[in-house]
Structure 1
Amino acid sequence: MLIIILAVLMMDCSEEPPLCLRKDSSTNYRYKHNVSEDLTLKNAYFDTEVPTEARVKIGGQITFLCRFKQNVGSSGIWFRVDKENPRLDRKLVNTDRIKIRQSSDSLEWILTIKTVDESDAGAYECRLASKPYIKNSYTLHVTGSDMFYAGVCFLNSLISSVYDVVKHSITTY
């Protein structure tokens, strides 16, 4: 048994075999599926015509659609993904800002985020509940709102004016 463990730990992961043991940043080993294997699963289960990347302004609303090609007899689950540390992935649930709903035919799982803020930017996944390794990835980019930038410009101008007044008062005193 020790020989098998040593053989697995000594695998050369640079060749990307179909399934390989990878050392992550927390010095733990975990399995990493080959990208081509993931794409095969993704293409078999998900409608790949659905957009998986979106941009929204702060305060806006975004909706991601996870559409299965056929009824898979399982539900979809939405996750907020941490690419750096997969252990920090968290399952999304309905809140006042986040709504998850399914279509009547169970082919679509819809994620809506209201009043988007900067912390919402990043990666999301729709996973098949019965087989969580079958997933579709989504990316959300959050940009500043026009009102936010107008406010920043106003504050900059105000601070600059106050500074000029104070500076003038000190030099003429």
Structure 2
Amino acid sequence: MKPLQDSDAQVLFTVVDTNRHYLRTWMSWVEDTTTPADSEIFLQCITQQFAKGLSQHFAIFSEGQLCGVCGFNKLDTKNKIGTIGYWLIAPFTGNGIMTQCVSTLLNIGFYERNLHKIEIHCAEHNHKSRAIPERLGFLHEATLRDCEWLYDRYEDHAVYTLLSSEYRPNPLPENL
């Protein structure tokens, strides 16, 4: 993991563009990312949000290749709540990469940012995405009905939460 920077725009766009079919299954923003300029705008936006303490995003690398993004899509400093989001391209799923990344985000959130609560929202039927918070000890707190328009239908979201008082960092298996 490394912080996303403006200079990552071209490689980020290329990864999204070449994995468009897979990513669009659960990511509505994919259809709005049609040129490298769209990735540049996204990176400029998150850089501004980071400077204000409102978000923090990371590029995920494996085997020297950018293969995904994770981070705090929203940081509510007043209430000390962070909302984590993530995506990974298909060839890198199923190897524990995202579990390790989200575990790192938990450490950042609870120890560096002094958050009280961390949330993860997943499409209800996105079982791969839901497995991450379940594996890391989050509580399935609620299901929000029809909360995201995904191309031709509304999707319910499963909301997972973890409080700082509940967080017990566990060593990850060596094969992750």
Name the TM-score, length of structure 1 as normaliser. Answer: 0.27
Larger-gyration structure (1/2) = 1
Name the TM-score, length of structure 2 as normaliser. Answer: 0.27
| Structure with the larger helix share | 2
